[in-house]
Amino acid sequence: YTRNGSFVLDEQFSVINSSGQALLAAAVDSSGKADLSKLNKLQIPTTTAGEALQTSLVQLSLNLPSDADVINAEFNRNNPSTYNKSTALSVYDSGGNSYLATVYYVKTSNATADSPFNKWQTYVYVGDDQVNAALQQSTDENDELLFVNKYGELKPFSQVEDLLVNRKTQKFALDDLTDVRTSVPASVSGSKVPNDMTADQGFDFGAFAKSSSGTYSATELKTFFTVDVDSSGVPVTVDLSGLHGAGKVTGVELADYIQDQLNRSFGDERYFDLSTVANQKFSLTLDGGTAKDIDLASITGQSDVSNVNAVKIEDIVEELNTKLAASPAMAATAAYDYALRCFTITPTNASHAITILGGTAASPATNALFGLGVTALTLGADATWGTTVAPNGTLIRPATQQRYGITVAYDGAQETFSISSGSTGDQSEIGINFTIGSGSGATKTDFANFMGFEATSATDSVYTV
């Protein structure tokens, strides 16, 4: 017999030692007892022999110290001061040979209010060779693959428009796009405007004279002109009613106002859902006087609001101002601050204070949507009650109709306005139309002239590039 562990298989798959001697094995009966009187060569067919499998995936569960110091020094695996922690494990190649793999962890930043997570950088070495990280496609919280749409936005696969081949582009495939094209947005420009819109002049929309007689009201300014981008099929109506009574507005300020409005309306803005009765009611009091109860259930009386579960921000603002105007004791104006994401109630007299609570003055209640309770809150210097009031309903514009990157500019030297689509990298289109609706007055001749365009009828009021 041999005690040498150097065994191999011969041509007949018998186990032999280095001298060619066969390893004998005894048969075992049903009770597990070996019969040493009947020894035979031990043969191992290749189908039962194990084959080495190389390491293809390593999964680690880690709990890194949250109070670890941020390290800004350049990483050097031979210098422990350039990393916080390390982990070692064995990996195997296709021949079954093992190698030591080491993962180094470097904390790069601490959590903040805007980004509530610590950030770590990892470095992986197998032996002395660094492993370069392979790109992996990002997924959202539902594990749906993310793609970059033609506006450069990350969207899940189900929301990316699929009208053209390669319209859906994987986030990590930019190096594969060899057909590089310069992105040129579509742009519509008007002629020289008739009014002085410079910084030291500006234009007062409250005194916008009609070519016939009189001046335009805020209601008439709600339908200034429409804009459509890349044939979305649902143009956006530019509403300048908010500038009525705002004093003089410069060309740059007007361009910014229209640009913000277009990008909000073409983006992922949502409706307010006021179907919950408690979310329809709140009460305002000016300087401790008589309370003004607000009930938004009546908002369906507006011509463009058919259901309380699909109400736009501007519809609520209009309803609030209508109710405030009907109460002389409540001298205030409502608006919506998109930066603060909250409605504002500004008293006409800046020295007056306004308080607000949920429900009615007689029966205070919680209004979860507006962030109000039974205790009255005093509006601050920003005319809000310090709570975000964001739309809680469905998307106003479906994902396939959303457009981004629209720019509106005023050229002070040329005294012209221009409106451009986002830089899409493919065939882009933008169109503006100064005819809204039908019948007398549908073509906004004065509004077109104000922007530097000519429009006398529906046939010559559309400008498309």
| Tens of pLDDT, residues 401-430 | 888 889 999 999 899 999 998 865 556 788
Q: Write down the domain spans for the chain.
A: 8-48, 187-269+395-464, 277-378
Query: What sign for the dihedral angle of Cα 342, 345, 350, 352?
Result: negative
Q: What is the mean pLDDT of the chain?
A: 86
Residues with Cβ within 8 Å of 53's Cβ and at least 6 positions away in sequence, in order, are 92, 94
Q: How confident is the model at residue 173 (pLDDT cuts 50, 70, 90)?
A: very low
Strand runs (DSSP E) across 136-247, as ranges? 146-148, 154-156, 169-170, 187-189, 203-204, 225-229, 236-238
User: Token pair for residue 219?
Assistant: 């209601």
| Structure-block tokens of residue 143 | 């594990």
* 189 touches 428 (CB < 8 A): no
For residue 262, the tally of other CB atoms under 10 A from its CB is 19
Question: 212 CB contacts (<8 Å, ≥6 apart)?
Answer: none
| Contact (CB, 8 A) for 91 and 55 | yes
CA angle 462, 257, 346 (to 5 degrees): 135
Tokens, residue 396? 């106003």
- Tens of pLDDT along 285-341? 998 888 999 999 999 887 778 888 999 998 999 899 999 998 888 889 999 988 888
Looking at residues 74-90, what average pLDDT do you find?
A: 94
pLDDT given for residue 32 in this prediction:
82
Q: Look up residue 19 and give its two tokens.
A: 């001298």
Contact 182, 427 (CB under 8 A): no
Of 346, 412, 403, give the one whose Cα is nearest residue 379.
346
Kindly tell me if the per-residue pLDDT of 141 is higher than 90.
no
Mean pLDDT within 232-242:
89
Tokens at residue 459, please?
């046939």
Do 421 and 431 touch, CB atoms closer than 8 A?
no
Residue with tokens 């050229």: 411
Q: Using pLDDT thresholds of 50, 70 and 90, give the confidence band for residue 165.
A: very low
